[in-house]
Structure formats: structure tokens, C-alpha cells
Amino acid sequence: MITILQRPETKYSLDYYAGDPIFSGPVADLKTAAKKAQNKLQGRTIWMINSTAQGGGVAEMLPGLITLMNDLGIDVKWGVINSDDPEFFLLTKRIHNLIHGDETSNTNFTEDDAQLFESINRKNAEKFKTIIKKGDILVIHDPQPMPLGKIIAEEFGLLTIWRCHIGLDRHNNATDAAWDFLKKYAPTYTHSIFTAPEYVPDFFQNNYSIIHPCIDPLSHKNQDLTVTKLTGILCNSGLLPAYEPIATPDYEARIKKFLGDGTTGEPGETGLLFRPVITQISRWDRLKGWLPLLDGFIKLKQENIYRNEDDTNSSHIKRLQLSRLVLAGPDPTAVSDDPEGLEVVNQVRERFISLDSELQKDITILLLPMESAKENSLIVNALQRCATVIVQNSIQEGFGLTATEAMWKRKPVLVSSASGLKQQVSDNINGLMVMDPEDPFEISECLRKLITNPGMAYNLGRNAQRSVYDHFLIFRQITQYLELFMRLL
Ligand code: UDP
């Protein structure tokens, strides 16, 4: 049942972050906030409770958050609820999909569903009751442990907060069904936290705060890479032929690339480091807008290059001629419980093999190995740093950490107007926005602007990094949590 994790192993202490001139200001602000909170938090443990220690955005964010809060002298612990009944996670996955508005999921919740949801949470709560003490603070992440929060709050009278990381900016039958199922747990929660005001269901309307997700600037995915380290990652992972000896060994798990006939092979020559590269890295989910992006790139090539052969000297045309598209996501054979991933990869593959071989040469579709979280993060980091433009063409997006990660690396981003991305990007200020992610013409036009205007692209990237620095770094998120605790206690 509930597992209390040891203090997570992360790479750096708060003092290490503060030693970097870029982070010394935010860390100093954070220390001031922590000092103010010290008296009220004395003797209390803050419990972060979710349902997985690995995989997914929440598990990615919690270790850094917990380590740095402990460094500030605040006692924060992490509990993960478990279930020996696989039906529980099928049920919670269904709730998750419904909250994202998926009308293909079953909207009918039975008495058995409610009983399963509660009984697993009650079992977890039994053990948890022996550990928790009066005065502690409970932060329950996402729907899976929501009943546990209710059970504990009722018995111990604790400050209990529900942190919901998912949502949709409109409602339909699916969202209504999920919220209907969850609403009975809401009244016992002191407060709720959402990523955007549009996501808040009616029953939390008078009782919520907005806290945006954040990135850790020193994680494997976001840390600065020296040129040697960057080329080392590209060579070790097979994305760049090694022209010189490389100090580090090749990664065991290999990246796969689609070949012209739809089979997979080693990436070989991808043009990274040399050409203008347009990159999207995401899960293989239909809602990430892969196919319209692919079509937008095809239009970009066809309309701006093949029709302008007499003008090949212009540097604009040259850039467009050389540009390449990289689409990358986790190898779906490594994610056994995600049949949808395989389906989407196959759709992208079908479209790719229907193209003529000249166009195929300009499109690199990569399946990234997931065996080592560290290597996967380093590959994503390197791919993002090699991009001229990073796209996140989501049809729907809760927040879109892929955009945040790209913006932190000073990349000009092209994002859709999905609600999560609108939280981060203002069109023409810190990125460009396509209004209709399913319109290849609009996508092609925005890509053309970014590829042919390096000055504009540079300024967008610069502003993008500034906005991540101001709003979406881990320090800011901890400050917001502390301020919220102070307000509620
Ligand atoms: N990601 C990754 N490897 C991949 C594809 C994606 O590590 O092959 C990461 C990506 O860098 C980001 C996260 O998965 O940190 C996706 O988060 P986001 O908020 O963009 O979307 P979600 O997948 O939660 O819908």
C-alpha cells in the first residue's frame, strides 16, 4: 500500500543553484519566502501524495520540488499510493481521459467503480494514518488519491489541498461525467490548485489558486551542454556520425529512424548541427498535432522551394531548401501500455512512406529509447538545442512542458493556441502561434517566417527564455506553494 519514498536523489542542493549568478536572485527570493513561512510551518510535515514514482509530468517535477523544499528547512515527504488491482488504474486512466474531454471513453460510472475507487484509497489511507500527525499539510496530486485526502482530512482535520495537473478549457459530456464522479470529494478539501482558470470545475470555483508547472534548469533535460558534451550525446546516441574519437561510450539502447520504406534503422546522417532544423518532440498522441505539422512542412518545402528555383541565391531560399523536419517521441514498443502511441506512429509512418524520396530525405522521424531516463533526457536536451525552431502543434494541451523546455533554451517556438500553450506564449512576443493547428497552410506560413527571419527568431527566443526565467522555474513554484500555505494556515 502507500509507499513513503526516501528523500529523492537529485543532483544539486539549493546552495549549488545559488552559486550560479543567473539563479542567485530567484534563490534569494525563495529563501526570503521560506523565512517568512518558517514559524507557521515549524513542526509540520508537508505530504505530497500521487500515484506514481516514475513517468509523467508530476513524477518528473516532485523530486526537485521536494529536495529544494527540504533544503530550505521545510519537512516535505513524498507518498505514492499503490493498488494490487489493475482495474483501479484502468478506472483512473479513464477519469484522466474524460477530464481531457475524450468522448470515446466510457462516461458511465457504476456503483462498482465508486467502490473500487474508494476501497483502494481506504487501504492506502489505513497505513498512512499511522504515519501522519495533526498539523501536517496534505497536497494530493491528481484524481487517483483524491478519496484518500478526504478520508484523512475528515479524521485528522488537516489542511488538505487538491493539486490537479490536468484539464480542458471547455466542457462536454466526458468532462461533465468525470467531474460529476469526483465532486463529492471536493468539500473536504481546504483548497485546490489548477494550471489554468479555464480548467476549474464549478464546485471549486470559489476555492482555487493557479500555479503553473515548472522546469528544473539543472536537470539532465535542461542543463546547459558544452559543445563537446552536445556532440558527444549526438554521437553516442547515433544521431551524428563520429568524425573524431569520442570520450564517452555509445548508449546501449539505440534510437530508431524511419527509412523510406517504413522500416526502421540507425539514424545515420540527419543534418543536425548543419542545417536549419524544425523539431517537435512529444508523446505519440493524436492531440499533439503530428500529421498537420508534417503536412505544413511538406507545404513549406513544396511552395517555397520547388517554385522558386530561379532564385536559389537568396539566403532565404537557401535556408528553406536546406531545412529539415525532426519528429521525435518515445519508442512505442518500449511503452507497452500505450497502444494509442503505436497507432499514431503508424499514421505518421504511412504519411511518410507516401512521400517522394526527395521530400523523405528532409524528414527525420525518430523513436527514442526509454530504457534509461537519463539518456532519454540528454537526447531530448540535445535535440532541442540543435533545433532552429521548436514546434508544439497540440490540438489540446494541458500546459506543454516541451514548449517551456524549448523556451528555456532560447529557441523560437511555434505553438498552437491550445489553452496550456497560451499560458506561456504571446504571439509575436516570445514565440509564434498558429490559430488552427489543423491548418497546414498556416503552419507552413509561420515556419517560413521563422526560418527566413533569423533576427526575429533570435528575439523571440530571447524573450522566451526571459518568460521562463520569470514564471516557470522551480524556485517560483516553491515560492507560490509557500505563499499559499501561509494564506491558508
Ligand atoms: N518527453 C521525453 N521523451 C520523449 C518525448 C517527450 O522525455 O521521447 C518529455 C518532454 O520533454 C516533456 C514531457 O515528456 O518533459 C511531456 O510533457 P508535456 O507537458 O509537454 O506533455 P504531456 O506528455 O504531459 O501531455
Same domain, 360 and 481: no
- Residue 324 CA to residue 447 CA, distance in Å, equals 11
**CB 380 less than 6 A from any atom of ligand 1:** yes
For β-strands 256-258 and 363-368, DSSP reports them as antiparallel
- From the centroid of its chain, how far is CA 158? 31
Helix (H) or strand (E) holding 373: helix 373-386
For residue range 301-326, list pLDDT tens digits in order. 998 765 555 555 688 889 999 999 99
Q: Residue 49 C-alpha to ligand 1 middle, in angstroms? A: 21
CA of 316 to the centre of ligand 1 (A): 32
Whether residue 448 is found in the same domain as residue 479? no
Query: Are 453 and 320 spatial neighbours (Cβ–Cβ below 8 Å)?
Result: no
Pairwise CA distance, residues 418 & 195, whole Å: 13
| Residues constituting the chain | 489
Looking at the fold, whether 300 and 242 belong to one and the same domain comes out as: yes
Cβ of 421 less than 6 Å from ligand 1: no
pLDDT by residue, tens only, the chain of 489 residues: 889 887 666 678 899 999 999 999 999 999 999 999 999 999 999 999 999 887 677 887 898 899 999 999 999 999 999 999 989 999 998 998 899 898 999 999 999 999 999 999 999 999 999 999 999 999 999 999 999 999 999 999 999 999 999 999 999 999 999 999 999 999 999 999 999 999 999 999 999 999 999 999 999 999 999 999 999 999 999 999 998 999 999 999 999 999 999 999 999 989 999 999 999 999 898 889 999 999 999 999 998 765 555 555 688 889 999 999 999 999 988 765 566 789 999 999 999 999 999 999 999 999 999 888 899 999 999 999 999 999 999 998 889 999 999 999 999 999 999 989 999 999 999 999 999 999 999 999 999 999 999 999 999 999 999 999 999 999 999 999 999 999 999
Tell me: do 182 and 207 sit in the same domain. yes
Residue 410 lies in a domain: yes
Distance CA 211, CA 191 (A): 13
Query: Could you give the CA distance from residue 231 to residue 272 in angstroms, rounded to a whole number?
Result: 10
166 and 277: one domain? no
Q: d(Cα 336, Cα 88) in Å, to the nearest integer?
A: 18
Q: Which residues contact 287 (CB under 8 A, 6 or more apart)?
A: 100, 394, 395, 396, 397
d(C-alpha 319, C-alpha 93), whole Å = 44
Residue with cell 542542493: 13
Q: At which residue does the C-alpha cell 526516501 appear?
A: 6
Residues 194 and 266 in one domain: no
Contact 33, 110 (CB under 8 A): no
d(CA 232, CA 249): 9
Shared-domain flag, residues 291 and 427: yes
Instruction: Give dist(CA 26, CA 36) in Å, integer.
Output: 16
User: In 286-366, which residue ranges form alpha helices assigned H by DSSP?
Assistant: 290-304, 315-322, 339-353, 357-361
Q: What is residue 359's three-state secondary structure? A: helix
Our CA angle for 69, 59, 398, nearest 5°, is: 105
Q: Nearest Cα to 340, choosing from 288, 293, 297?
A: 288
Question: What value does the CA radius of gyration of the chain take, rounded to a whole number of Å?
Answer: 23
> How many alpha carbons fall within 13 Å on the CB side of residue 1?
14
For ligand 1, the distance from its centroid to the CA atom of residue 402, given in whole angstroms, is 6
Which residue CA neighbors atom 17 of ligand 1 most closely? 401
Cβ atoms of 273 and 384 closer than 8 Å: no
The residue segments making up the domain with residue 286 are 227-471
Is residue 450 within 8 A of residue 428, CB to CB? The reply is no
Strands 277-281 and 264-265: unpaired
User: In Å, how far from its chain's centre is CA 221?
Assistant: 11
Closest approach atom of ligand 1 to CA 379: 3
What is the H or E stretch that residue 464 is in?
helix 454-471
Measured distance CA(420)–CA(132) in Å, rounded: 35
CA-closest residue to ligand 1 atom 21? 400
Whether residue 148 sits in one domain with residue 77: yes
The reply to whether ligand 1 has any atom less than 6 angstroms from the CB of 376 is: yes
176 and 49: one domain? Answer: yes
Q: Does 220 fall in a domain?
A: no
Contact 144, 51 (CB under 8 A): yes
The answer to whether the CB of 406 is under 6 A from ligand 1 is: no
Q: Is 332 near ligand 1, meaning CB less than 6 Å away? A: no
The string of DSSP letters for 218-257 reads TSTTTS---HHHHHHHHHHTTSS--SS--SSPPPSSPPEE
| Alpha-carbon gap, residue 32 to 320, rounded angstroms | 49
| Secondary structure string (H, E, C) spanning 48-106 | EEECCCCCCHHHHHHHHHHHHHHHCCCEEEEEECCCCCHHHHHHHHHHHHHHCCCCCCC
* Closest atom of ligand 1 to CA, residue 56: 24
User: 38 CA to middle of ligand 1, Å?
Assistant: 35
> What CATH number does the domain containing 194 carry?
3.40.50.2000
| Shared domain check, 406 and 322 | yes
Query: Does residue 222 lie within any of the structural domains?
Result: no
Name the residue of 402, 408, 409, 411 to mutate for ligand 1: max ligand atoms within 8 A of Cβ: 402
State the CB neighbour count (10 A cutoff) for residue 39. Answer: 9
- What is residue 313's DSSP assignment? T
Angle between helices 373-386 and 401-408 (to 10 degrees): 60
Sign of CA dihedral 336, 341, 347, 352: negative
Q: Is residue 221 part of a domain?
A: no
Kindly state whether residue 86 falls inside one of the protein's structural domains.
yes
pLDDT digits (tens, 9 = 90+) for 328-384: 999 988 765 566 789 999 999 999 999 999 999 999 999 999 888 899 999 999 999
219 occurs within a structural domain? no
Same domain, 301 and 159: no
Q: Which numbered atom of ligand 1 lies nearest the CA of 392?
A: 20
- Give yes or no: residues 239 and 126 share one domain: no
Comparing C-alpha atoms, which of 211, 206, 132, 201 is closest to residue 170?
Answer: 201
Number of structural domains the chain divides into: 2
